[in-house]
Amino acid sequence: MRFASLGSGSRGNGSVVASQTTIVLVDCGFSYKEAVLRLKRLGLGPDDLSAIVVTHEHSDHVGGVEALSNKHSIPVYASRGTWIEVGEESYSNPIYINDLFSIGDIEVSPITVPHDAREPLQFVFSCNGIRLGILSDLGSVSHRVIEGFQDLDAISIEFNHDVELLNQGPYPAFLKSRVGGDFGHLNNEQACALLQRIVSDRLKTVVACHISETNNDSTRVQEGLDRVLENQNIQRLVATQSDGFNWIEIGTS
């Protein structure tokens, strides 16, 4: 299995998870034109996509899903709550919390997260025993999250903001409370504490994602990753809004 990102942050998200035969796009918060350009950077076109899996209805995750899906007849999977919020009356592929489902040879395990959306989910993708976690947009860490994201070979995990930078930053008070609240976004310390709970001998890759361009900086994120992962043999990367990150191979399938 391998994965990559079209871009990550509050102005648009999109991750790609691929096996030998199946390619899944997780969220698309970019316009159609932008998404096509960003897919091309990864050597892909929209017609290569087997499905789009949506985490929740916020525009940085769904903004480009409808256009991409309609123009290329790509099936979309989302929770019933997300379908309702995007105004779809027929839930074409509803995802039920804790119900595994498959797209081609990739098995998808949905996990509910504390975030201010109607029925937000994050996912673990498995193929031939390799497990990849995609985890962003959560304001706090629940037991379900800790349980669900164990035994991974790789994870993309939210490092949204630095508490100090958020507090000193330009956001209005209501937005600071929303972002920093239990249903907002993970700060660097929360992300580090969560990583400590899920790190294992098999974990080989950690990508920090959904980093705020206003309330964080990559040096602080990198320092956090290095502090938690120390000298373990774990690849660590920081995803950006403009470039996401390029393909990362995990396992052999």
Enumerate binding residues for Zn ion (CB under 5 A). 58, 60, 137
Query: Is the Cβ of residue 137 or residue 162 nearer to Zn ion in the bound state?
Result: 137
101 versus 183: smaller Cβ distance to Zn ion = 183
Query: Could you count the other beta carbons within 10 Å of the beta carbon of residue 99?
Result: 10
- The nearest distance, CB 100 to Zn ion, in angstroms, is 23
* In the complex, minimum distance from the CB of residue 251 to Zn ion, in angstroms, rounded to a whole number: 27
Separation in Å, CA 166 to CA 163, 177, 192, 218, 223: 5, 10, 17, 14, 17
CB of 137 to Zn ion, least distance (A): 4
On the 0-12 / 13-18 / 19+ scale of CB atoms within 10 A, 226 is exposed
- In the bound complex, which residue of the shown chain has the CB atom lying closest to Zn ion? 58
> Cα separation of 62 and 95, whole Å?
16
Minimal distance in Å, beta carbon 179 to Zn ion?
Answer: 10
Closer to Zn ion at the Cβ: 29 or 46? 29
No. of helices (H) and no. of strands (E), the chain:
9, 14
Residue 58 or residue 204: which is nearer to Zn ion going by CB?
Answer: 58
Instruction: Fill in the amino acid letter for 153.
Output: D
User: Could you write out the DSSP letters of every residue in 75-90?
Assistant: -EEEEHHHHHHTT-SS
Question: With respect to Zn ion, which residue has the nearer C-beta, 119 or 137?
Answer: 137
In the complex, what is the shortest distance from the CB of residue 184 to Zn ion, in angstroms, rounded to a whole number?
9
Q: Whole-angstrom Cα distance, residue 220 to residue 237?
A: 13
